[in-house]
């Protein structure tokens, strides 16, 4: 929908925006109302407060919600199916064992981290960590030393991939809300994720693991690694993980050659490469390949269908929250609140990428949910991004990473991930703050530093 003539000036619109954030935080933190319901309610209240015509309110809400779901639901749904197939068949264990064997026991933390980076492309943070923990604990028992030395590189890898790289819901939602190209976001996210992980997670784990002695918990996978009946071959696992990236590169690489004039954009082969490299098509092809290659000969068709069906349930809430975030962003744009924020940011001279990071970080600290922080920050910053015509696809992707970094840092007691890591590693609150909280804060700030410097250079 097109924006309406604002009913108020910049000052009142900014007050409405501030009140909306305050009400959202109150509903999520104090009332404990589900974030999806909270975002829908706040979107409705903002529409009423900014005097959007009553007949246009529901269409505006549905337009923002549906537009976001059109991309987010498709990518997240297909991505989680791929991850679930790799998870159930034992792909993570196969990859981790192979890397430990190749790199040697002295580099086991590095091997576990690399395995988690690769496996973290299609699978969510919590599911990936839980699947990898039996391997981590087994290696830690065999080699000795603090379990943090082996667990933190893996946990950090899953956290980085979950925040930086599509098809995870965070970067997908942010890219959709600010209009960033999904393929470019994936490429930029990968390029920044690897050095960020190495510095903020791997090197930090080596430092912390030698200073905090934490034994391997004996109440989780006490019998050792999980045994899979017929785990896939290593090359099969690597092939499934690399396939979507290669397909998406067909789009980004071909588009670059078209731009330089090396290829004719009207050629059928070029059009085909561009189509199969579109992120939804690439993930669809990969999901089908995962079902056929990983499921063939191991499970009956009914079991493969059930595995994929079970993968969708846990992500429904995340998909709905991101859709509601799109609804909130749509209302801000139509009502004129977004333009008021954009003009205020322009007056302060604060770069958009910095403002995006700060807003996401503030929301993260206040209410804990990375998803809510990310969708709210992206919705607030989207009008400013739209008004800045000179932003390239790379700049838009870097803004996505900045938002993701802000929503990752400073995980503490109001974040479910804080308790997940602390519980599984047998840490008390103080130790979890000294390890997990510090690590994800380093990930957020170092990742943002890379993104900000890159935005100045490109």
Distance between CA atoms of 45 and 168, rounded to whole angstroms?
29
Residue 252 predicted with pLDDT over 60? yes
pLDDT of residue 396: 93
Residue 220 predicted with pLDDT over 60? no
Asked if the structure places residue 93 within a domain, the reply is yes
Q: What is the span of the domain harbouring residue 69?
A: 10-457
For the segment 232-251, the average pLDDT, to the nearest whole number, is: 84
Asked if the structure places residue 317 within a domain, the reply is yes
pLDDT of residue 139: 82
pLDDT of residue 416: 74
Residue 413 predicted with pLDDT over 60? yes
Least confident of 164-173, 183-192, 199-208, 429-438: 164-173
Asked if the structure places residue 173 within a domain, the reply is yes
Asked if the structure places residue 431 within a domain, the reply is yes
* Residue recorded with tokens 């700030």: 445
What are 42-79's pLDDT values in tens digits?
A: 999 999 999 888 988 999 899 888 887 877 788 878 88
Asked if the structure places residue 38 within a domain, the reply is yes
Distance between CA atoms of 232 and 216, rounded to whole angstroms?
28
Asked if the structure places residue 200 within a domain, the reply is yes
pLDDT of residue 156: 94
Using an 8 Å Cβ cutoff, are 152 and 205 in contact?
yes
Look at residue 27 and give its three-state secondary structure: helix
Using an 8 Å Cβ cutoff, are 451 and 228 in contact?
no
User: Angle, to 10 degrees, between the axis of helix 301-312 and the axis of helix 279-295?
Assistant: 140
Using an 8 Å Cβ cutoff, are 41 and 28 in contact?
no
If one counts the domains in the chain, the total is 1
pLDDT of residue 342: 65
pLDDT of residue 224: 45
300: phi then psi, degrees, rounded to nearest 5: -65, 160
Residue 353 to residues 11, 229, 270, Cα–Cα distance (Å): 23, 48, 34
Asked if the structure places residue 3 within a domain, the reply is no
pLDDT of residue 176: 86
Asked if the structure places residue 4 within a domain, the reply is no
For the segment 232-254, the average pLDDT, to the nearest whole number, is: 84
Distance between CA atoms of 417 and 440, rounded to whole angstroms?
11
Distance between CA atoms of 108 and 105, rounded to whole angstroms?
5
What are 348-391's pLDDT values in tens digits?
A: 777 889 989 998 898 888 777 787 788 888 888 887 888 776 78
pLDDT cut 70: percent of the chain above it: 94
pLDDT of residue 404: 93
pLDDT of residue 222: 45
What are 299-330's pLDDT values in tens digits?
A: 888 888 888 888 888 778 878 887 888 888 78
Q: If pLDDT is split at 50, 70 and 90, which confidence band does 408 have?
A: very high
């Amino acid at each position: 929908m097109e924006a309406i003539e604002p009913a108020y000036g910049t000052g009142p619109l900014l007050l409405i925006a501030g009140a909306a954030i305050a009400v959202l935080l109150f509903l999520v933190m104090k009332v404990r109302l589900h974030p999806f319901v909270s975002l829908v309610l706040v979107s409705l209240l903002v529409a009423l407060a900014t005097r959007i015509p009553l007949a246009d309110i529901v269409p505006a809400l549905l337009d923002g919600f549906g537009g976001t779901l059109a991309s987010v639901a498709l990518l997240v749904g297909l991505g989680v199916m791929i991850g679930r197939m790799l998870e159930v068949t034992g792909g993570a264990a196969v990859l981790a064992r192979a890397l430990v064997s190749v790199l040697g026991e002295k580099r086991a933390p590095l091997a576990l981290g690399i395995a988690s980076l690769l496996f973290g492309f299609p699978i969510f943070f919590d599911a990936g960590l839980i699947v990898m923990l039996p391997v981590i604990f087994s290696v830690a028992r065999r080699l000795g030393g603090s379990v943090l030395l082996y667990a933190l590189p893996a946990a950090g890898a899953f956290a980085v991939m979950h925040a930086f790289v599509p098809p995870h819901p965070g970067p997908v939602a942010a890219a959709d809300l600010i209009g960033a190209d999904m393929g470019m976001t994936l490429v930029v996210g990968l390029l920044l994720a690897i050095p960020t992980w190495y510095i903020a997670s791997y090197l930090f784990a080596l430092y912390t693991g030698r200073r905090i002695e934490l034994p391997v918990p004996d109440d989780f996978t006490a019998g050792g690694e999980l045994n899979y009946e017929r785990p896939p071959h290593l090359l099969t696992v690597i092939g499934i993980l690399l396939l979507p990236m290669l397909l998406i590169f067909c789009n980004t690489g071909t588009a670059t050659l078209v731009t330089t004039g090396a290829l004719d954009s009207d050629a059928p082969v070029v059009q085909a490469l561009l189509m199969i490299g579109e992120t939804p098509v690439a993930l669809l092809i990969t999901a089908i390949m995962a079902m056929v290659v990983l499921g063939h000969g191991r499970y009956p068709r009914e079991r493969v269908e059930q595995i994929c069906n079970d993968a969708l349930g846990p992500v429904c809430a995340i998909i709905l929250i991101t859709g509601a975030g799109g609804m909130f962003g749509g209302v801000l744009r139509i009502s004129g609140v977004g333009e008021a924020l954009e003009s205020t940011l322009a007056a302060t001279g604060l770069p958009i990428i910095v403002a995006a990071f700060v807003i996401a970080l503030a929301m993260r600290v206040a209410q804990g949910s990375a998803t809510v922080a990310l969708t709210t920050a992206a919705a607030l910053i989207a009008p400013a991004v739209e008004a800045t015509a000179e932003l390239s696809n790379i700049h838009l992707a870097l803004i996505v990473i900045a938002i993701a970094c802000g929503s990752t840092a400073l995980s503490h007691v109001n974040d479910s991930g804080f308790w997940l890591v602390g519980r599984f590693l047998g840490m008390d609150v103080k130790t979890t703050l000294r390890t997990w909280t510090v690590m994800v804060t380093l990930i957020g700030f170092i990742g943002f530093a890379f993104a900000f410097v890159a935005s100045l250079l490109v």
